[in-house]
Structures are given as structure tokens and as C-alpha cells.
Amino acid sequence: MWTLSHSTQSEDSTHLAAAQKAVAALKQRKDLGFWQLPERESQWSSSADRGREVRTKSNRLVVLGMGGSSLGGRALLQALNKWRDTHSVHFIDNVDADVFWKWLKSRNDLQDTHWVIVSKSGNTIETLTMAEFIEQHLREKGFKKLSSVATVISESDDNPLMRWARKENVPCLEIPKDVGGRFSVLTPVGLLPAAYYGLDLAGIREGAAWALKQDELIARLAAQTLSSWKREEWITQFWAYSDALKDFGLWTQQLWAESLGKAKSRSGGKAPRASTPMAATGSSDQHSVLQQVMEGAHDKFLWFLRVQASESAGLTLEKNLFDCQQLMHGKSMGQLFGAMATATRDALAKQGVQSLTLQTESLNERSVGALFMLLELVVGALGEAMDINAFDQPGVEAGKVIARGILQNS
């Protein structure tokens, strides 16, 4: 599945012991639902059933959600893209009014569109506003009202979104109260779009269950990160050598930043510093950020994510068009891709930039399900090691309060 195939630094026994202890502590926390999801049958069956039902009634699924309510599903579908001609899925995760209205007014397939409204709290102002304007647009165009072509995904509490859904008899799927939004990809948040798209939920589930058994791998990844912080490498860069993992990088940014960037420890003291996450994609970002990583301040620790299938795919080149390209004769594009990944890692190592490499054979439902759960467990373990609450986001909530005040007074 996934292996720690290469590291430029030796294992620090102190950090490894601390990480192992943190992993054990994390798995003792029954208040955290994310790592228990593979055992929760209803989450998987309800998502599969609703996905199949909606698929028979529509050709397009549009997901309205912010942050974890969108990023996880986007990343999951991109990683497992089957290049389907039918049953497309689109995510709207911003309230850029210009883009939103241009997109909505350009659609000529709204009669075949199903809308999924995702908000864990049920009162996310951006998500509810998008739904309200879509309802208005559908009404003005003479289409069915939103409630008749929608599914709601939220906590089962008495919140504004759920009150509307119950009043209008909108089908609902539940986000468990003990699963935070950025940890919710393996709930209906990610599973409903995956089921609609025709992906194998059983394979995703098997992969997540596999990750739960990899205590040593999780501890090693967390320990490597703790060692990087001791060296004051305050940027952790996730560099995926796979186009299919671009959105996974963005999902990882949110998971890492919201979980580990805290001011207070659980005891009320000052929290330890955590690194800032960044996402990059090879080999394209070798032509954008590599120079700064190579010769700028050595304050970065890199996670290379590599997929063997991406480095072995394609035909071999039979004839060169350019006289400088003889080295590619008889080789595949995948070989070039793999050479770029190895060369980037080794060139950085010569400059003193440390890294680890996490590798899998191919991206399929099992390996992708495993990758999501692995990262969630690593982040959770780092939170335990730092003695912080990795499952809240008080810094985000402050801005929401101010935004509501601005709107009320304008």
C-alpha cells in the first residue's frame, strides 16, 4: 500500500518514542470519531444507497460546501478520476459572486442537476447563501424548486439547514458529531459524491482500515516531522509527483493548518509551534518554487508523495523531433517523471534540505482511502504529542463573527 521508501534523515529515537506514545494515546480517545469510521456501517451504506438513487435521476451532481465540506470530496474524486463521460461532479466552495453567477447562468443542464448542500454546523453563511441564490435562480427559470432536487449533509441537530430540510422533506445524510469537518472525507461528505461517481466505497473503506493498523508507519511519519521542527524547519511542503493528488495537497493544507496551528495548549499554556503546510506538484512546480526551496532559507521539510504507476506509464519514444532529446529515445514519459522526482529529492539533499518519501504502487480506492486516513492519524498524533486540541478551530470562528457584524451593519 503506502511505504516510507526513503528518508534523508536518520530516525531520532526520542522523537520516535514520543510519536509512538502519541499514536497510542490517540487511539484511546473514544471521543474522536474519525478513526472509528471504517467500523460504522451506516455511514457507508447510507452514502452508497443515496448515491445510487441520485445517479438514476440526474447526470450532474453539484456540491455546495466550504473547507472540509468540499475539499475532501474534491480530493477523493480527483485522485480516483475515471474520466467518465456521464455523471459529472462539480464543487462550488467559494462565494466569488462574479464566478458563481457566470457559472450558474451558463448552465443549460439544470433540469438534470442534483444539488448536495453540505454544512456540518448547518449555519455556514456562505453555503446557505449559495443555496438561497440557487433556489432563486431555479424559480426564476421555471425549474423544480431546490428542495425537490437536493440532498442535505449535516449534523442531525436542530440547525437552520436541517430545519429547512425537514420542513421540505429533503433527504438527509449525517455527519457524526464526533467527526470534525476537516476529518469528514470518509463520511457522506466524501462518500456520497464518490458513490454517485461510481467509485468502490468498499475499497476506500478497506484502505482506511489498513491505515489504522499501521501504527509504526504513522509514528515514523510523525517522528520525522517532530525532528524537522527541532531543526526549526517551519514549512512542511507536501510535494506530490502525481497530478491526481493536486487537490489532496490542498486538503492536507487545511487538515494540517487548522489542526496544528493553535495558540494554547490543552492545559492553557502557550502551545508549541507547528509548521505551516504548503502543497506543490511535480514536475510543474520544479519550475516555480524549487529555486526558493533549493537556495532560500533552509526552513522547509519536504514530504514527497510518489506513485509508481505514474512513473512507468505510457509508450516509449520511437523517434526524436529535437536534436537535444536523444536521451529520451526508447524511454517513456513516466521514466522522465520518475527521474525528475528522484533528481529533485537528491539535489535538495545535497543542499541540506531534508525530506521523506511516501510511495505507493498505484492510486486506487484502497490506496487513496489509506492515504486519507494516514494523514488524519499523523496529524492527530502530532496534536497529542504537542498537547493541543487538534480538533477545534477558534481562529477561524473569530473571523466569522466579525463578518456577520459587518453584514448586519451595512
Secondary structure (H, E, C), the chain: CEEEEEECCCCCHHHHHHHHHHHHHHCCCCCCCHHHHHHCHHHHHHHHHHHHHHHCCCCEEEEECCCHHHHHHHHHHHHCCCCCCCCEEEEECCCCHHHHHHHHHHCCCHHHEEEEEECCCCCCHHHHHHHHHHHHHHHHCCCCCHHHHEEEEECCCCCHHHHHHHHHCCCEEECCCCCCHHHCCCCHHHHHHHHHCCCCHHHHHHHHHHHHCCHHHHHHHHHHHHHHHHCCCCEEEEEEECHHHHHHHHHHHHHHHHHHCCCECCCCCECCCCCEEEEEECCHHHHCCHHHHHHCCCCEEEEEEEEHHHHCCCCECCCCCCCCCHHHCCCEHHHHHHHHHHHHHHHHHHCCCCEEEEEECCCCHHHHHHHHHHHHHHHHHHHHHHCCCCCCCHHHHHHHHHHHHHHHCC
pLDDT score, position 139: 95
Question: What pTM does this model have?
Answer: 0.95
- Which range, of 10-24, 82-96, 276-290, averages the lowest pLDDT? 82-96
Picking from 316, 305, 317, the residue whose alpha carbon sits closest to that of residue 280 is 305
pLDDT score, position 119: 97
pLDDT in tens, 209-237: 999 999 999 999 999 999 999 999 999 99
Q: What is the residue-averaged pLDDT of the chain?
A: 95
pLDDT score, position 394: 85
Question: How many other CB atoms are there within 10 angstroms of residue 196's CB atom?
Answer: 27
Flag whether pLDDT at 398 surpasses 80: no
- Residue ranges and CATH numbers for the domains of the chain are 2-29+205-391 (3.40.50.10490), 34-203 (3.40.50.10490)
- For residues 126-144, give the mean pLDDT: 96
pLDDT score, position 140: 94
pLDDT score, position 360: 98
Say how many residues make up the chain. 410
- For residues 119-141, give the mean pLDDT: 96
Flag whether pLDDT at 85 surpasses 80: no
Picking from 65, 120, 68, 123, the residue whose alpha carbon sits closest to that of residue 89 is 65
pLDDT score, position 89: 95
The C-alpha cell that represents 90 in the structure block: 462539480
The C-alpha cell that represents 71 in the structure block: 475539499
pLDDT score, position 52: 96
pLDDT in tens, 4-59: 999 999 889 999 999 999 999 999 999 999 999 999 999 999 999 999 999 999 99
Contact status, residue 19 vs residue 219, Cβ threshold 8 Å: yes
What's the Cα-to-Cα distance from 78 to each of 108, 316, 339, rounded to whole Å?
Answer: 24, 26, 24
Burial of 198 (0-12, 13-18, 19+ CB in 10 A): middle
pLDDT score, position 272: 97
* 198: amino acid identity, one letter: G
Contact status, residue 306 vs residue 359, Cβ threshold 8 Å: yes
Contacts of 108 (CB under 8 A, 6+ apart): none
Question: Distance between CA 186 and CA 200 in Å, rounded?
Answer: 13
Question: Distance between CA 407 and CA 43 in Å, rounded?
Answer: 37
Confidence category of residue 404, pLDDT binned at 50, 70, 90 = confident
Contact status, residue 325 vs residue 260, Cβ threshold 8 Å: no
Flag whether pLDDT at 318 surpasses 80: yes
Confidence category of residue 401, pLDDT binned at 50, 70, 90 = confident
pLDDT score, position 253: 97
